[in-house]
Amino acid sequence: MRKGLSADLITRVLGGGPKYTLAELEEKYPPRNLPEGAFVTRFSPSPTGYMHIGGLYMSLIDYKLAKQTDGVFMLRIEDTDTKREVKDAAKIIVDSMKRFGFEYNNDEVYGPYYQSQRKDVYRSVAADLLARGLAYPCFLTAEDMEKIRENQKNAGFATGIYGEFARDRDISEEDIIRHLDAGEVPSIRLYSTGNPDNRIFCKDAVRGSIGFPENNEDIVLIKSNDGLPTYHFAHLCDDHFMRTTHVVRGEEWLPSFPLHTQMFRMMGWTPPLYIHTATIDKIDPETGKQRKLSKRHDPEANVAFFLADGWPTEAIIDYLGNIAASGYEEAKVKGQVKSFWDYELRPKKIPMSGVLFDNRKLEWWAKEYIATLPVDELVKRVRDWADEYDPQWAARIGDNPEYLKNILAIERDNPKRIRKDFITWKQTLQEVSYFWDDLFLSNKEYEFNKDLLSAFLSTFDICDDKDTWWAKIVAIAADKGVKNGDVAMNLRVVLTGRTNTPDLYSIMQVMGTDKVVNRIKDVING
C-alpha cells in the first residue's frame, strides 16, 4: 500500500483540485426514489460512427427492463475518446432512440449525460483514490510502454503495466514534483493490490458467478492527453452516481469484469447487476466463420440501412425482442400479448451465446406486422418512408394519394386473410409499381394466348360486378376449351407483367378501363 498524496500535489497532478468530496457527491446524486424492484438502466454508446444493430439490441433490453419495472432508462454518451469521435454520431444515436420509441429519462439531477462534461465527478473520485494511496500519477510515455510491451512479449510475460513493470507505482513525492516541474502531464493509474493467484468472483445476472484471477494491472483511470477517464473509471463513477441498478453490455466486457468488481469494492460501493449480452453475428463470407456483426465490415449492421430500406421499426423490435426473450414469439402468435412491450423480459433468459442474424425471420416478422395495419395506416407509413428516402416516389404518390390507397386496399378487407406480400415500405411500392404506366414492365417471356385476350376484351365492362366478370371468364374458357385459370393467368400477366398478384378483379377496378384496355391491346397488337 502506498502513502496517499498531499492535497497540493493532488491538485497539481490532476491539473486542478477536486470540486467535490465523496460525501458531497453522494449528496449531489442521491439514491433514487423508486418503487421496489425498479430497474435503472442506461444505454451508453460511444459516438464513433453509426448506430449499430447490436447497440439497438442492447438499448432495447435496457429500455424494456426499465419500462416493465417502472424504472428509469438513461442515454449516456461515452465521448471520452476524443480521437475516435465522429461528428454527428451522437445525434444519430439520439435520433434512433426516438425512431424506435425508446424514451429515455435523462433527469437533470443525475446529469450531465455526456461523459466529457463530467470531469468534475471523475476528478473528485480520482482525488479520493490518490489521497488514499489507491491511485498514483504515472509518467510513462507511449514509447516507454511500447518498450515494456515488447520486452514482456519476448520474455513470454503477460503484457501490461503491473507489478515490477509499473515503474511509477511507488513513485515518491519528490519524483512526482520533478516530473511535474519538467512540464510532464501524468496519467492516473490504479494502484492495484490484486493478486492473480487469488480468485475473485463476479456476479452476472445471466451466467451466475464467474471466477477470475484477481486483477493486478495498474490500469489507467484518467488519461494524460485529455484528462478524461477511461471506460473503466467512467463506468465506476457514473453507474454509481447515476444509481444504475443493471448494466447491460456486450460480452466483450467479460474480461474486465474482475477489474470492475475490484474497483467497486475498493470504493465500498455496491456494484450494479451485470447482464453481459451475446453478440449478434454473421457468417463471414471470406472465412466462413461466425463472427460479430462489425461496424467496419458490415454495412448491413447499420440501423440506418434498415430504416432506409423501409423496414418497420416494430418488426425490428419484434425480431430483436424475440432474441432477448425467446418466448415472446409464441405468446404473440397465440395472441397472449399484443406487442413486445406486453411480454415480460426476464434477465435470466437473455441468451448468452452468439446469435446469427436471420434476415428471413426478420422478413417474417415484417410481413406479419404489415398485415395487421389498416389501409390508412399502411398508406401513411409508406408515404412517410417515401417522403424521407425516395423523392420520386413521394412526388408520384403526392400526385394522386387516393390511387395508392386504392391499390393498397386490395384484399385487405378480411383481416384473417390479408396477403403477406409486403415486407418493407420500399418493397411495398416496388411490389405494386405495375399500377403506374411508366413503371410497368410488360412480360416478354410469357407466351400470351391472344385469342383469349381478344375474347376478354370484347366483353370487358368495368361496371360489371365481380360475379358477372367471373362468369364472362368462365364462358370464354368453356368456349375456347381451356381452364378458367388459363384465362385468368393471361389477364394477370398482361396487366401486371407478373404471375403472382392479388385479386384480378380488384386490380382491374383500381386500374380503370383505359389501362386495362390499353395493356391488352398492346399485347394483341404487338
Partner RNA sequence: GGUCCCAUCGUCUAGCGGUUAGGACGUCAGAUUCUCAUUCUGAAAACACGGGUUCGAUUCCCGUUGGGACUGCCA
Site for RNA in 69-88 (CB under 7 A): 78, 80-81, 83-84
| CB nearer to RNA: pick between 143 and 402 | 143
What's the min distance (Å) between Cβ of 516 and RNA? 14
- The Cα–Cα gap between 39 and 242 comes to 12
Is 326 an interacting residue with respect to RNA (CB under 7 A)?
yes
The residues facing 290 across adjacent strands are: 283
What's the min distance (Å) between Cβ of 30 and RNA? 26
Is 323 an interacting residue with respect to RNA (CB under 7 A)?
yes
Helices (H), 132-172: 142-155
The gap from C-alpha 390 to its chain's centroid, in whole angstroms, comes to: 23
The grid coordinates listed for 175 are: 519524483
Contact between 448 and 493 (Cβ < 8 Å): yes
Return the amino acid letter for 222.
I
What residues from 171 to 190 belong to the interface with RNA (CB under 7 A)?
187
Of the listed pieces 21-29, 310-318, 326-334, 384-392, which binds RNA according to CB under 7 A? 326-334
| CB nearer to RNA: pick between 62 and 251 | 251
SS3 of the chain: helix, strand, coil, percent, to 5: 50, 10, 40
Among positions 34, 38, 145, 177, the unique one binding RNA when judged by CB under 7 A: 145
| CB nearer to RNA: pick between 11 and 279 | 279
**Strand, coil or helix: 325:** coil
What's the min distance (Å) between Cβ of 385 and RNA? 21
| CB nearer to RNA: pick between 51 and 396 | 51
Cα-flanking dihedrals φ and ψ of residue 273, to 5°? -85, 130
**Strand, coil or helix: 296:** coil
- The Cα–Cα gap between 158 and 152 comes to 6
Cα-Cα end-to-end distance for the chain: 94
What's the min distance (Å) between Cβ of 459 and RNA? 16
Is 156 an interacting residue with respect to RNA (CB under 7 A)?
yes
What residues from 88 to 107 belong to the interface with RNA (CB under 7 A)?
none
What residues from 18 to 57 belong to the interface with RNA (CB under 7 A)?
44-46
Residue 407: other Cβ atoms inside 10 A: 23
Is 500 an interacting residue with respect to RNA (CB under 7 A)?
yes
- Looking at residue 229, what DSSP letter applies? B
What's the min distance (Å) between Cβ of 323 and RNA? 5
Among positions 66, 267, 504, 516, the unique one binding RNA when judged by CB under 7 A: 504
Place of cell 445471466: 206
What residues from 195 to 254 belong to the interface with RNA (CB under 7 A)?
207, 210-213, 220, 223-225, 228, 230-231, 251-254
What's the min distance (Å) between Cβ of 411 and RNA? 7
Q: Buried (b) or exposed (e) across 281-290, using 16+ Cβ within 10 A?
A: bbeeeeeeee
Site string for RNA, 258-297 (x = CB under 7 A): --------------------xx---------xxxx-----
- Looking at residue 301, what DSSP letter applies? G
What residues from 390 to 419 belong to the interface with RNA (CB under 7 A)?
411, 416-419
Q: Buried (b) or exposed (e) across 236-250, using 16+ Cβ within 10 A?
A: bbbbbbbbbbbbbbb
Is 420 an interacting residue with respect to RNA (CB under 7 A)?
yes
- The Cα–Cα gap between 278 and 504 comes to 48
- The Cα–Cα gap between 81 and 226 comes to 9
Site string for RNA, 346-385 (x = CB under 7 A): ---x-xxxxxx-x-xx-xx--x------------------
Contact between 423 and 368 (Cβ < 8 Å): no
Q: Are strands 280-283 and 355-356 parallel, antiparallel or unpaired?
A: parallel
Of the listed pieces 10-18, 106-114, 260-268, 487-495, which binds RNA according to CB under 7 A? 487-495
Of the listed pieces 236-244, 301-309, 318-326, 393-401, which binds RNA according to CB under 7 A? 318-326
Of the listed pieces 3-11, 97-105, 158-166, 428-436, which binds RNA according to CB under 7 A? 158-166
| CB nearer to RNA: pick between 344 and 358 | 358
